[in-house]
Amino acid sequence: MTGVGRPGEARAGWAMSAPALAAILAFFVVPAIGSLFLSFTDFDIYALADLDNLRFVGFQNYERLVANPLFWKAMTNSLLFVAIGTPFIVALSLFAALLINSRWLKWRPVWRVALFAPYVTTLVATAVVWRYLLHTRYGLVNYLLSLVGIAPVDWLGSPTASLPAILIFVGWKTFGYSMIIFLAALQTVPRELDEAARIDGAGWFTRLRHVTLPAIAPTVLLVSVLTVAAMFQLFAEPYVMTQGGPAQSTVTILYFMYEEGFKWWNLGSGAAVAFLLFLCILAVTLVQLRLARRSGAI
Amino acid sequence: MSLRRWTVTLLAALVALFTIAPLLWMLSVSFMARGEAAQFPPPLLPGDPTLDNYRALFGSFGIGHFLINSLLVSTLATLLALFFTIPAGYAFAKLRFRGRDATFRLLVAALVVPGQIGMLPLFLELKAMGLVNSYAGALVPWLAGIFGIFLVRQYCLTIPDEMLEAARIDGASEAQILRRIVLPLLSPIIVTLALFVFLGSWNDFMWPLIILADQDLYTLPVALAAMSREHVQDNELMMAGAVVTTLPVLVLFLALQRFYLSGLTTGSVKG
């Protein structure tokens, strides 16, 4: 279909896209590929000072990572964020979208904006806010829990509570985005379909399972894929709220990469972490696509 | 019927309380006196509202300086992104040239690669170019916005070809067509894109944290994160800092929400 246009048109086409393409090549493609090369070198603070100190070391960075317990800790933490966070956020945003899409809802635009608002706030700022909301003694969250008789939880100070605490914050901050995507998909589901099932006596949950969910299955897949990628990329949350602690319980892969690269200046090893992160995201996405295909969602 | 209406609306109000309460609480505590928030049960409203925290922030902490830095970086990022993205998005949609579709498919495939993958090599690249610890270095990722190109292209596809053809027959050059005919038509998507980039660069944390070493150059999020590590105990001060950091973008979003929300769905739902 792309018959080449007149010469003037083709020239203009290249001229208009060249600046953006050059920038993408220089500042996105080259660094991304460069990461793989960098991961096979011993680039460190000495090489940073003088490139003569740079050597090609094969798979040594990877071997050293595999032997590093903190790397495995970061890997496990990130996988926990993915495994717990993805279903939590997908379910939360789907529920919110169903609620906002409900034909019984009054003042819909108001609720839609109110639920979406946290998504556009500055992450660092709201992470600071949530650090106080989750404070063991003075936090609003523990106060609310105390009203229903639950003893104070040391949210950010206990290695078992810190990961769920960060997930509560991440859920609060990001579910609005997926909600908007779900809402757009829900608006394409014909009301009559749902109505017919209701007249046949199907309950709310049955209709959700057999009418709504099949109709928006591709969107559920899309949102899950995006959420998995987001869960693998948590960095500022632990940086601001816990600094990776307590007991390294919130060190994520990206946090580990940041420390390897920019705290210890082991850029070769950091690049290996980055590349492994990419492989992880790719692998989980492919598994999701395969599961979706098998279940007939796409 | 009516009961159902109220139940659903009440449920939505409860969820809205969960999303909005932390922001209202942030605002409320920012007007409290020092140490007032550190009580149990936590007070919801300031006993005697004061602007002391804001005075301290703009006075001894010099947050005004970081506010200006952030405004500068986000404005420049937005202008540069528009300048790079709009012509490219239009070209990919409407100008026929060899290799166009293959290039575009590659770009879409590249969307799945997170930018953080290349952060370390990008840092070295910019170091070689002498751009580390400068705003030029902080702005560079915003030039390479694939999503923006995608957004503009989707919008340009709705422009009828006949319109462009007619202008060509009248002897307009391709650059004139872009400037005089296409750009005015694109104004809604330009607002959307500008909003995305402005908010994105304002809220960005990891890249400015890496590339800006000099404290004088810090943007608000980087300055706030540094401050929060030193002033863990000062709830009220930190809440005021959070308000200064996030209020500008929140207000901007509320004013232009229609453009923001429509852009989200263009990008993600097919058809």
Which tens digit of pLDDT belongs to each residue from A183-202? 999 998 888 888 888 888 88
Spell out the alpha helix ranges (H) of chain A: 7-24, 30-38, 45-49, 60-66, 69-101, 108-120, 123-133, 140-147, 162-186, 191-199, 204-207, 213-215, 217-232, 236-241, 253-258, 267-294
Exposed (0-12), middle (13-18) or buried (19+): which is A120, by Cβ within 10 Å? buried
Whether residue A203 is predicted with pLDDT greater than 90 in this model: the reply is no
- From first CA to last CA, the distance across chain B in angstroms is 35
**Which one of A206-220, B109-123, B196-210 scores highest in mean pLDDT?**
B196-210
Residue A56 sits at φ, ψ, to 5 deg, of -85, 125
Note which residues in 64-123 of chain A have CB less than 8 A from chain B.
96, 99-100, 102, 104-107, 110-118, 120-123
Mean pLDDT of chain A: 93
Whether residue A3 is predicted with pLDDT greater than 70 in this model: the reply is no
Determine the distance from the C-alpha atom of residue A54 to the mean position of all C-alpha atoms in its chain, rounded to a whole number: 34
Residue B141 touches chain A, beta carbons under 8 Å: yes
* Residues A243, B178: Cα–Cα separation, whole Å: 49
pLDDT for res B41: 86
What is the number of other CB atoms lying within 10 angstroms of the CB of residue A104? 16
Whether residue A167 is predicted with pLDDT greater than 60 in this model: the reply is yes
Domains and CATH numbers, chain B: 62-265 (1.10.3720.10)
Whether residue B136 is predicted with pLDDT greater than 90 in this model: the reply is yes
Mean pLDDT of chain B: 93
Amino acid at A82: V
Reported confidence tier of residue B254, pLDDT bands at 50, 70, 90: very high
Residue carrying the six token digits 């800790």: A73
Give the C-alpha distances (Å, rounded to integers) separating B219 from A37, A176, B191: 32, 26, 23
pLDDT for res B268: 56
Name the percent of chain B lying above pLDDT 70: 98
Mean pLDDT over A131-159 rounds to 94
The lowest-confidence range among A61-75, A82-96, B33-47 is: B33-47
- Name the pTM for this structure: 0.95
Q: Are A185 and B269 in contact (CB under 8 A)?
A: yes
Exposed (0-12), middle (13-18) or buried (19+): which is A227, by Cβ within 10 Å? buried
Quick check: B253 and A117 CB within 8 A? yes
Residue B206 touches chain A, beta carbons under 8 Å: yes
Name the percent of chain B lying above pLDDT 90: 85
- The SS3 of residue B264 is helix
Reference A178, options A136, A240, A110, A225; nearest CA is A225
Quick check: A257 and B173 CB within 8 A? no
Mean pLDDT over B105-128 rounds to 92
What is the number of other CB atoms lying within 10 angstroms of the CB of residue B254? 12
* Residues B123, B101: Cα–Cα separation, whole Å: 31
List, in sequence order, every residue forming a beta bridge with A41; answer none if it has no partner.
Answer: A56
* Residues A193, A128: Cα–Cα separation, whole Å: 45
CA distance A285 to chain B (A): 10
CA distance A143 to chain B (A): 6
CA distance A174 to chain B (A): 10
Which tens digit of pLDDT belongs to each residue from B186-236? 999 999 999 999 999 999 999 999 999 999 999 999 999 999 988 878 899
DSSP summary character for residue A243: T
Whether residue B51 is predicted with pLDDT greater than 70 in this model: the reply is yes
* Residues B148, A37: Cα–Cα separation, whole Å: 29
DSSP B63-89: HHHHHHHHHHHHHHHHHHHHHHHHHHH
- Chosen from B17, B74, B120 to mutate, greatest number of chain A CBs within 10 A: B120
pLDDT for res A185: 94
Whether residue B39 is predicted with pLDDT greater than 90 in this model: the reply is no
Note which residues in 222-281 of chain A have CB less than 8 A from chain B.
222, 226, 229, 232-233, 235-236, 239-240, 243, 254, 257-258, 261-262, 267, 270-271, 274-275, 277-278, 281
Which tens digit of pLDDT belongs to each residue from B73-114? 999 999 999 999 999 999 999 999 999 999 999 999 898 888
The lowest-confidence range among A11-25, A89-103, A180-194, B176-190 is: A180-194
Whether residue B152 is predicted with pLDDT greater than 80 in this model: the reply is yes
Mean pLDDT over A88-111 rounds to 95
